[in-house]
Structure 1
Amino acid sequence: MPKIETHFHTKESSPCGYIPAEEGIKTFHNGGYDAVIVTDHFSRSVNGTAEGQVWDTVCDNFLSGWRAAKKAGELIGLHVYLGMELRFPYDENDFLVYGFDEAFLYEHPWIYEKNLETFSKLAHENGLLIIQAHPFREMCFAADASCLDGVEVKNYNPRHDSRDAMALAWARQNHLLMSAGSDYHQITDFSGAGIQMEHLPADETELAQWMRDEKYQILLLPRE
């Protein structure tokens, strides 16, 4: 079954990313993965406010990591999907968003300046999937479950205690989808985490729909 990394950052678009997209993609390809979802940070703190900025330029900068990863993947036969790790200005919570394309970004300016409730309505009108990342990590908290589709119940970033057991219990309590990811920022973050599907989705829309329909399995590897 194809293996998919769900939480991957690039140096090009995430200031906390240390690995260029091409190098990261090669790492996952060599590690037996068939696909990666690039989820670079998208927020006011990373991408700036509307003051003095052009939204198309903000999108171009954000998409640069995904575009580099996609180009690298095409050369070696690894599928690269577009995603994001979205944060609103009011707290430290992060949300992995799947199911959108470039056009959606350009057509919806300053989405990271909204709030979860407003964005959730927009996302679900457009078939997007919202997964709260590491909800019980320090400075984070469980968001309104009615605005979410799922929870990252296994986050393998070695520099944080994401309190995965709490995330798993909360996901079960609220009947939410579950996911797992490496939260890849640097070489040591490669973990073998992610999800598996019977086939690779054709595009971002199909990826989100198959996850919504629970046509996947979680790769749960024990921490060393």
Structure 2
Amino acid sequence: MANLRAPRAGLAREQQMKVDNAFDPEEAVKCLVWIREITGENIPVETVMDDRQKVLDFFYETLKDGFLLCRLANCIVPEDMQIKMKSLTFKKSTNEAFESARERSRLEIFCEKIMEFGVPETLTFQIDSLYERTNLVQVYCAIRNFGMEAESRPSFTGERFWPKKAEENKREFTEEQLKASKSVIGLQMGTNKGASQSGMTFGKQRMITEK
């Protein structure tokens, strides 16, 4: 767990500080507000909005056990993709090692579920990013991408909360257009038209003598 890890030092500490400094409390709050609206869970985020560090701590503590994220997924994904919240993974354990393993499993299930829903793997987060608190920026970006994916579906009829997802702009070209493009020489390719070696005097000329 994050509170049991040895403090980072040297370059690792500098890198972690850069990641933490990139944390946007407004974006994190927006994610928590959206999760509250979708799930109906009581998330008193307003109590920490006046302090950046409090927002960071609250965001981490609220999401790290994976329960809330899995409830969020179940509120959005189709019925045939629902997470089985009554399985052993979602039962609290008094054994710290068991509970730690289950919390990580819940986060993994959430990431797998949103990928199955349509969020690219590169736009999700690694388990340690949240559980070990190494990159919370990656976490709220994944939640935002999940929200954008959900709002892009034809079945979505509610008020838009996230920016509109970029849509595919597929272009169709005729066979003649494709052939015509092959005759075009890009400026970066250069050209050898009119090239010659006239005027080149670099280096000593090779002397050819008869024996």
Task: Considering Cα pairs closer than 8 Å and 6+ residues apart, tell me whether 1 or 2 has the greater RCO.
Answer: 1
Higher strand share: 1
Is TM-score (shorter-chain normalized) higher than 0.5? no
TM-score (norm 2): 0.27
Per the normalisation by structure 1, the TM-score is 0.26
Greater gyration radius? 2
